[in-house]
Amino acid sequence: MKAERKREGAKRGRLRAERIFDGLGVSQGIAIGPAHVVEAGYIDVPEYAIAEDAVAAEQERFADAVARSQRQLKKLKEKSAALHGTAAEELGFLLDAGLQMLTGSRVVRGVERRIADERINAEAAVRAEIIQVAQSFAALDDPYLAERADDIREVGDRLIRNLTRTPYQAFSRVPAGSIIIAEELTPADTALMDPQLVGGFATAIGGTESHTAIMARSLGLPAVLGLADLIGAVHNGDTVIVDGSKGRVIARPKPSTLEEFERRRGEFERAERQLVGLRRLPAVTRDGTAVTLLANVELPRETEAAVAGGAEGVGLLRTEFLFMNRPDLPDEEEQYQALRTIIKGMDGRPVTVRTLDVGGDKLAAALDVQPGGANPALGLRAIRLQLKMTELLETQLAAILRAGAHGPVRILLPMVSTVSEARQVREILAGVVKRLKRRGTKMIDPSPPLGVMIEIPGAALAADALAQVADFFAIGTNDLTMYTLAIDRGDEQVAHLYNPLHPAVLRLIQFTTEAALRARIPISVCGEIAGDPRYAALLIGLGIRELSMAVTALPRVKQRIRNLDLLAATRFARQIMDQSDSGRIAALLDDFNALA
């Protein structure tokens, strides 16, 4: 006990000192603001009486929440094992304490008893039990045990969050400029962030190309992920710096650190402003080759910025936003209205609507899709799910066809792996067209182009066959890299191995591009590398003329293209394709970009 108390004293001292955390910078820029620690946030606890015959089911619901909480703590423990020194020790201690409290403890037994005796719902029982246990600790007037009371409250909050399944509050009540600190944020949580209120965020769990990272870039929020030692080390209201460019988070900065980062933030913002002048200029190489720059849109509110930023259309509309943060499914009318707003907002520019891509790390509660199986990324997701739940696909296709009456649209299918999937969708589409015609509904005529994402290695290798059934290709390098290299794009533990410059990935891009060019169908790249100016020369050299990216990435990519020479880019791509080592490829890429 003495040693633990000493450690607690030292920890308190550290909690006031500046602390630096290094992780994965996933969205550029610097944000400075007060921490808003999600775990400490306010949770609405529903309270209601339950009938006697509902007691067993309620206890089971509680057991589920306990199991889920245990899984989360174990996952965090795995991540924290990679840390060094006292940080790992402290965090391990905290997580162990949490796990103990969830394993047949007084707290667990107390909640079960309350559900049975008081006939109240599990959330209310958890809250009552936690208050009582924490109060009995706090009453002992011992600073060490008082801290344990905090740990108990934390476990209680976790249980309630898992019971209510409302992961986090909507961030709508946070002070302006807040830095959100959380264990993990789903893409749906991130979609709730208003950049007017939230300055940036940092999490313990999450990889570079996770959809949470993509959402951060879309919203233009500086973000750092994969910081296991963050948990418990930052408190509400602490000043926090998030350097999304360098992947660094600094809590409670010293005045000199703060000053340095304020200066760097100013520099970053000045550089961004300088790029604004490029908006109206065309994306052409020095020798006059035009490249079409399109926007990836995650949320309808981005449309205005896409137009203002000079996007020539939407190359990828991720329709998952329609299905996020809700318990039910949007009907055809609701989807139509949302799509119409976006299409009208793009003012005559083409909008590529991708059908629902849930599964993997993108879960829609309303669909009751479970991550399922040992490998959710290989499971029932995207087009596979839609071909199983055809009504869902039909509804979405009908909404797209109707919205297409207000501006040019294209339909894009996610995660296609076989020719027959594309054929099946074509048949379903024809059926929907017929039905709408019978109904006399106004819609796009003729039917819009139907394209497929090339994001599975098998699809890339069968690109010539797919080109016979698809009207266009969009290469999704995020998933293509993940599936080719067997690296989970959302797992920070293997993030250092995630590499779109691996020769295998580049060969698949080349193979797909050549197949599309031979079949004379349009091809674009809409994975995250399209928005990274370092890749522009290589992609253009390989024959790509359409790039779709986060709106915030448009100016820098355009700037790069305007400095390129097509012949040099083509020669460079050829040189790269002769390489077998991704380290050498990265070095050549840097050299080329430094010169040209």
Joined together, the tokens standing for residue 134 give: 């924490």
Could you give the CA distance from residue 460 to residue 512 in angstroms, rounded to a whole number?
5
* Helix spans in 283-415 (H): 303-308, 332-345, 382-388, 390-403
Taking CA atoms, 242 is separated from 73, 108, 205, in Å, by: 25, 38, 16
Could you give the CA distance from residue 380 to residue 373 in angstroms, rounded to a whole number?
9
Residue whose CB is less far from Mg ion, 154 or 528: 528
Joined together, the tokens standing for residue 349 give: 């520019």
Kindly tell me which residue out of 212, 395, 478, 552 binds ligand PEP, with binding defined by CB under 6 A: 478
Decide if 392 contacts 356 (C-beta within 8 A): yes
| Residue 84 known to be catalytic | no
455 binds ligand PEP per the rule CB under 6 A: yes
Nearest Cα residue to 217 out of 197, 193, 251, 239: 193
593 binds ligand PEP per the rule CB under 6 A: no
Residue whose CB is less far from Mg ion, 178 or 481: 481
Closest contact distance (angstroms) between CB of 502 and ligand PEP is 15
Kindly tell me which residue out of 187, 313, 345, 476 binds ligand PEP, with binding defined by CB under 6 A: 476
Closest contact distance (angstroms) between CB of 243 and ligand PEP is 24
Name the CA radius of gyration of the chain, rounded: 26
Joined together, the tokens standing for residue 546 give: 């359409």
| Window contacting ligand PEP (CB under 6 A); options: 170-178, 238-246, 419-427, 471-479 | 471-479
Nearest Cα residue to 66 out of 122, 121, 148, 114: 122
Decide if 456 contacts 482 (C-beta within 8 A): no
Among ligand PEP, Mg ion, none, what does residue 557 contact (CB within 5–8 Å per kind)?
none
Kindly tell me which residue out of 252, 318, 402, 406 binds ligand PEP, with binding defined by CB under 6 A: 318
| Window contacting ligand PEP (CB under 6 A); options: 10-18, 326-334, 474-482, 504-512 | 474-482
* Residue 196-235 contact track with ligand PEP, rule CB under 6 A, x = bound: ------------------x---------------------
* Residue 162-201 contact track with ligand PEP, rule CB under 6 A, x = bound: ----------------------------------------
Decide if 514 contacts 543 (C-beta within 8 A): yes
Question: At what angle are helices 55-80 and 106-118 packed, to 10 degrees?
Answer: 160
Catalytic residue (one of 211, 406, 496, 502): 211
476 binds Mg ion per the rule CB under 5 A: yes
Residue whose CB is less far from Mg ion, 324 or 443: 324
Residue whose CB is less far from Mg ion, 123 or 479: 479
Q: Phi first, then psi: give them for residue 552, nearest 5 degrees.
A: -65, -20
Among Mg ion, ligand PEP, none, what does residue 302 contact (CB within 5–8 Å per kind)?
none
Count helices and strands (H / E) in the chain.
22, 16
Among ligand PEP, Mg ion, none, what does residue 207 contact (CB within 5–8 Å per kind)?
none
- 584's CB contacts (< 8 A; 6+ apart) are none
Among ligand PEP, Mg ion, none, what does residue 526 contact (CB within 5–8 Å per kind)?
ligand PEP
479 binds Mg ion per the rule CB under 5 A: yes
479 binds ligand PEP per the rule CB under 6 A: yes
455 binds Mg ion per the rule CB under 5 A: yes
Kindly tell me which residue out of 199, 359, 448, 527 binds ligand PEP, with binding defined by CB under 6 A: 527
- 82's CB contacts (< 8 A; 6+ apart) are 228, 493
Q: Which residues pair with 66 in a beta bridge?
A: none
357 binds ligand PEP per the rule CB under 6 A: yes
Could you give the CA distance from residue 560 to residue 539 in angstroms, rounded to a whole number?
12
Joined together, the tokens standing for residue 388 give: 């199983």
Q: Which amino acid is at 453?
A: M
Residue whose CB is less far from ligand PEP, 369 or 443: 369
| Residue 211 known to be catalytic | yes
Decide if 539 contacts 529 (C-beta within 8 A): yes
Catalytic residue (one of 36, 406, 502, 526): 526
Query: Binding residues for ligand PEP, per CB under 6 A?
Result: 214, 316, 318, 357, 455, 476-479, 526-527
Catalytic positions: 211, 526
Query: Binding residues for Mg ion, per CB under 5 A?
Result: 455, 476, 479
